[in-house]
Amino acid sequence: MGLLDKYYRLGRATGINLHINNDGSYQIAMCEIALAGGQLAFAHKRSLLESFAELQKHADKKVSVSLNLSGKGILIKTFNGKAPDFAAILPNAQAGDFYIQHFQSGNAVFVALIRKSEADKLIAEVEAKGYQVLCLSLGPFAVDRILPQLNFYGSPVIFDGHHISLDDNRHWAQYQYKVGEYAPFEIKADSELLNDGLVLPYASAFQLLFSDGLIQAEAPTVTEKHANALFQQKLRVQGAVLLAITFFMLLLNFIAFLSLEGQNTALAQQLGRSQQQDLDVSGLNEKIQQQKQLLKQLGWDGKFNKARLIDSVARCVPRDLTVTGIEVQPSAVRPGGAPNAQGILANTIRLSAYSKSVLPVNEWVERLKLQAWAKSVRIENYWFDAQSDLARVVIILTY
């Protein structure tokens, strides 16, 4: 995990569980959580809301929403080992008419489906009230992300009609929905009390806030919005970091020039007092060379605006590639591992990134080569990280 990864997350999230009753009416519950100082805090929570008008009184429209749908219209089927093709699940239906969610727990696979027309209608209804839906999940399965936090220590797990049977390894074995069945005790998420109706909203908000391994339906429009929101958050964080680095470099240069100016003033005074003496030309030249070497080691090159170069690099980033590092004039290391005499790579930018495939990497390299200021672009290192299932690359750009 990179140093900036924790800042790439959304700072706040609202989970909304929309339960569709058999008569078509809604039962709505919401839970808003926030990350503050590295701690998770419950900002607002309400259950048993019967309309979107009531929801608007409690849920902040500026906070991104993770929407969970349950009840009528949600079809849930359980399979062992591997889920079959869609034709085996619903023989007389078309896969393109449904949003499908797969949840694997041990040897069991739970497949949840909802018609796109019904889900899109509900999403549109939520967004019409001013909310932005970034995640769509179906049934009770998002609760798996928070089970370790809840005070359920055995099997079954029961809340708000959801009846989950767990095996000895805490994997889901069976699921049933039983109207009117509630937890036999007060539910707690760590020390926070939750009534039955708030478990799913909290689980939905939690998995949106910590976006790794989302349990969600395959709804491209929603997932694209989520990806864009995370990308914008990363850009804001990286922009702030790059701005801070730029100011720091300018400060170092300013201090270096002040130091050089003071030394030059001292030399001028010394020369003024020693006008009758011979100048030590070779000594003076040596000092000048030392000052030039110092400027080289500081990476000073007045011809280029590094902030504009970084901005130009950022505009070339393809959509499916994530940049993890930009080093302007990075340290230079010989093959043996020892730094060279200069200590840096002059007129060089080292770029680090990752992607799910090599195509965005090649696209980025070609875009960089088209920049008028780019002298050369080469891939220094490329490898596949099996643990994260990502291709990682390091690119050297000279200008």
| One-character DSSP codes across 160-193 | TTEEEEE-TTS-EEEEEE-TT---SS-EEETTEE
Structure confidence at residue 6 (pLDDT): 61
* pLDDT at 48 exceeding the cut of 80: yes
Q: What are phi and psi of 50, to 5 degrees?
A: -105, 0
Read off the pLDDT band of 280 (50, 70, 90). low
* Average pLDDT score over residue span 100-105: 94
* Average pLDDT score over residue span 64-72: 95
Nearest to 131 by CA among 21, 261, 218, 229: 229
Structure confidence at residue 123 (pLDDT): 95
In this structure, the strands spanning 108-115 and 98-105 are antiparallel
**Which residue reads 């699940």 in tokens?**
89
Read off the pLDDT band of 277 (50, 70, 90). low
Least confident segment among 8-22, 180-194, 220-234, 258-272: 258-272
* pLDDT at 219 exceeding the cut of 50: yes
Structure confidence at residue 298 (pLDDT): 59
In tens, the pLDDT along 20-35 reads 998 888 899 999 999 8
* pLDDT at 318 exceeding the cut of 70: yes
Structure confidence at residue 335 (pLDDT): 44
Q: How far apart are the first and last CA of the chain?
A: 30
Half-sphere exposure in the Cβ direction for 51 (13 Å, CA): 3
CB atoms within 10 A of CB 82: 9
Structure confidence at residue 8 (pLDDT): 67
Q: Is 372 helix (H, G, I), strand (E, B) or coil?
A: coil
CA dist., res. 31 & res. 66, Å (int): 10
**Which residue reads 């079809």 in tokens?**
75
CB 122 within 8 A of CB 69: yes
* Average pLDDT score over residue span 248-263: 82
The per-residue pLDDT of the chain, averaged, comes to: 86
* pLDDT at 116 exceeding the cut of 90: yes
Distance from chain centroid for Cα 316:
19
Read off the pLDDT band of 253 (50, 70, 90). confident
Read off the pTM: 0.60
Structure confidence at residue 5 (pLDDT): 58
Counting other chains too, the contacts that 179-188 makes at CB distance below 8 Å and 24 or more residues apart are 182/158, 183/158, 183/159, 184/158, 185/151, 187/150, 187/151, 187/152, 187/159, 188/150, 188/151
* Average pLDDT score over residue span 240-263: 81
* pLDDT at 256 exceeding the cut of 90: no
Structure confidence at residue 334 (pLDDT): 47
* pLDDT at 392 exceeding the cut of 80: yes
In tens, the pLDDT along 360-385 reads 999 999 999 999 999 999 999 999 88
* pLDDT at 336 exceeding the cut of 50: no
* pLDDT at 350 exceeding the cut of 80: yes
Q: What is the 3-state secondary structure (H, E, C) of 305-355?
A: CHHHHHHHHHHCCCCCEEEEEEEECCEEECCCCCEEEEEECCCEEEEEEEE
* Average pLDDT score over residue span 139-154: 92
* pLDDT at 279 exceeding the cut of 60: no
In tens, the pLDDT along 74-99 reads 999 999 888 888 988 898 899 999 99
Q: What are phi and psi of 112, to 5 degrees?
A: -115, 135
CB 99 within 8 A of CB 116: yes
Q: What are phi and psi of 126, to 5 degrees?
A: -70, -45
Read off the pLDDT band of 37 (50, 70, 90). confident
